[in-house]
Amino acid sequence: MSMNRRQFLKIAGVSTVLGIGGGTVVTGLRRTGLEASQVSPDPRALKAKRWGFVVDVSKLKTDEDYQKCVDACHGIHNVPDIGNPKDEVKWIWKDTYERTFPTTSEDEHMNKELKEKKFLLFCNHCAQPACVRVCPTKATFKRQDGVVMQDMHRCIGCRFCMAACPFGARSFNYRDPRGVDASGRPFIRKENPQFPTRMIGVVEKCTMCYERLAIGQQPACAEASNGAILFGDLDDPNSEVRKVISSTFTIRRKPELGTQPSIYYVIGGTEHA
């Protein structure tokens, strides 16, 4: 079962419907019908050995710059806004330096600008992902191009992956994401019919816009970032991301844990930084 499924994913290049959850296959079919990409590789599909990002926070100036990326992602992926931090679901968000790099921030004399700098956080699509290692059902798995996928149909909601991910990248649907809050407001304000909604009791996270890569588009956050987020193949020495990484000082979150995050941050900003 698992092999067939995996092979299918490979043949399909990207699994527009299945990857995000067979439970939504029916919905997907009803709403959009099968697309060509699900049965044969789309010639437009972006391909790489290992996808990765460079996030240059010096290019993110205003709150709006950050919010644009967050909204782009959450909007097209039907990420519910539950409205309380306890049950919160988020794929990408803004956070402080101290919270982004907690192991390097025990410094009382830290540069003020850096201390106040905000970062964009999302799943690192680690090369050695702890989440994939622990999942008892292969509901989270790594694709050959480096995308760490999440099959919301297979997930049993044990939340082992949430305990294991050192980056807090994962959210659990503590409430029904298709539901409404106490005042009747739907958690998903405006549903994107092109992308499945999830169900109660499963874990979700950023899936690197696999559905966009399949039709030759960049991840939504990169597209909305005005050049602050670069996307490319980390295994290709000529890719844009690799050129930045080799010429600029970049840092990754908690590299000491050996998960090999695929997001590189450029802080820039001051001359001495």
Partner 1 sequence: MLEKALVGSKRYWLWLGVLIAIIGVAFIQYLRQYGYGLGLTGLSRDVSWGLYIGQFTFLVGVAASAVMLVIPYYLHDFKKFSKIVILGEFLAVSAVIMCILFIFVDMGQPTRIMNVVLNPTPNSVMFWDFIVLSGYLILNIVIGWTTLAADRKGVRPPQWVKPLIYLSIPWAVSIHTVTAFLYAGIPGRHFWLTAVMAARFLASAFAGGPALLIILALLVRRFSKFDPGQEAIQAVGKIVTYAMFANVFLLGLEFFTAFYSNIPGHMHPFKYLYTGLEGHGKLVPLMWTSSVMALVSLVLLVFPGLRRNENILAFACISLFISLWIDKGFGLIIGGFIPNMFEGVTEYWPTGPESMITLGVWAVGFLVLTVLYKVAVSVREETAGMPDNH
Query: Minimum distance between the CB of residue 188 and partner 1, rounded to whole angstroms?
Result: 15
Under rule CB under 8 A, residue 120 binds partner 1? no
Under rule CB under 8 A, residue 173 binds partner 1? yes
Site string for partner 1, 183-222 (x = CB under 8 A): ----------------xxxxx-------------------
Is residue 273 within 8 Å of residue 267, measured between CB atoms? yes
Encode burial over 36-48: b for 16+ CB neighbours within 10 A, e otherwise: ebbeeebeebbeb
Under rule CB under 8 A, residue 130 binds partner 1? yes
Which of ligand SF4, partner 1, none binds 98 (CB below 5-8 Å, type-dependent)?
Answer: partner 1
Which of partner 1, ligand SF4, none binds 77 (CB below 5-8 Å, type-dependent)?
Answer: none
Q: Choose between 207 and 239: whose C-beta lies nearer to ligand SF4.
A: 207
- Distance (Å, rounded) from C-alpha 216 to C-alpha 235? 19
Residue 262 region by backbone torsions, left for phi larger than 0, else alpha for psi between -120 and 50, else beta: alpha
Among 25, 114, 158, 244, binds partner 1 (CB under 8 A): 158
Which of partner 1, ligand SF4, none binds 129 (CB below 5-8 Å, type-dependent)?
Answer: ligand SF4
Binding footprint of ligand SF4 on the chain (CB under 6 A) = 123-126, 129-131, 134-137, 139-140, 148, 155-161, 165, 167, 169-170, 203, 205, 259
Report, in angstroms and rounded to the nearest whole number, the Rg of the chain calculated over CA atoms. 18
Torsion of the alpha carbons at 25, 31, 32 and 38, rounded to the nearest 10: 0
Distances (CA, A) of 148 to 203, 209, 246: 13, 11, 24
Tokens of 222: 């990169």
Tokens of 170: 């994962």
- Distance (Å, rounded) from C-alpha 162 to C-alpha 226? 31
Which of partner 1, ligand SF4, none binds 181 (CB below 5-8 Å, type-dependent)?
Answer: none
Tell me which DSSP letter residue 37 carries: G
Q: Choose between 121 and 228: whose C-beta lies nearer to ligand SF4.
A: 121
Query: Minimum distance between the CB of residue 247 and ligand SF4, rounded to whole angstroms?
Result: 25
Under rule CB under 8 A, residue 234 binds partner 1? no
Q: Choose between 160 and 264: whose C-beta lies nearer to partner 1.
A: 160
Q: Choose between 116 and 271: whose C-beta lies nearer to partner 1.
A: 116
Query: Minimum distance between the CB of residue 153 and partner 1, rounded to whole angstroms?
Result: 9
Helix %, strand %, coil % of the chain (to 5): 30, 15, 55
Under rule CB under 8 A, residue 8 binds partner 1? no
- Distance (Å, rounded) from C-alpha 43 to C-alpha 53? 23
- In the chain, the DSSP E strands lie at 51-56, 92-96, 118-122, 140-142, 148-150, 171-172, 203-204, 229-233, 250-251, 263-266
Q: Choose between 80 and 232: whose C-beta lies nearer to partner 1.
A: 80
Binding site for partner 1 (CB under 8 A): 1-2, 85-89, 95, 98-100, 102-103, 105-106, 130, 133-139, 154-160, 162-168, 171-176, 199-203, 254, 257-259
